[in-house]
Amino acid sequence: MHYNINVLINALKTCIPPLLFLVLFTSACSQPKTPMEVSAAFWKSIQARDLNLLYKNVAPDSVTEYKFDDMPSVGKVYLGETVIETDSARVETTVEIRNGKNLEIPVKTYLVRKEGKWKVDYDATVQSVSMNNKIARLFS
């Protein structure tokens, strides 16, 4: 059986670029999220009171109980400096608490790395918000 070499070369030239693009695109999309990206998604879930989004961004073993009642109504969220230490991280965060006066309180979003993926330490983060919210109310 004889093959025309030019036909094979043209076929390869036509097929390889799209396949290469697909492989590169797929591998780029599967990169794990950064602590900042996970924190942003976590706070978006808190703002929207979206349990499905919350579950995706929280370390399951860091939750005593999912309760939006523990979290005050959250307005704007500002994410700042990120500190990463091996398998834990924290993101300096400022949260606008809507309680009639719209207080901005500084908190920390705590994260842990599980199986190569960053997840929010729910209990530690909620405790940070609750404690700082109580302190902020004392001064307002």
pLDDT (tens digit, 9 = 90+) per residue, 24-73? 555 555 678 999 999 999 999 989 988 888 889 999 888 777 666 656 78
Q: Which residue has the tokens 């036509």?
A: 14
pLDDT of residue 14: 72
pLDDT of residue 138: 46
pLDDT 10s digits, 77-124: 999 999 999 999 999 999 998 877 778 889 999 999 989 999 999 989
How many Cβ atoms are within 10 Å of 124's Cβ, its own excluded?
A: 17
What does DSSP assign to residue 82? E
CA pair distance 21, 36, nearest whole angstrom: 28
Indicate the pairing of strand 88-97 with strand 74-85: antiparallel
C-beta separation of 40 from 32 below 8 A: no
Region 5-11 average pLDDT: 63
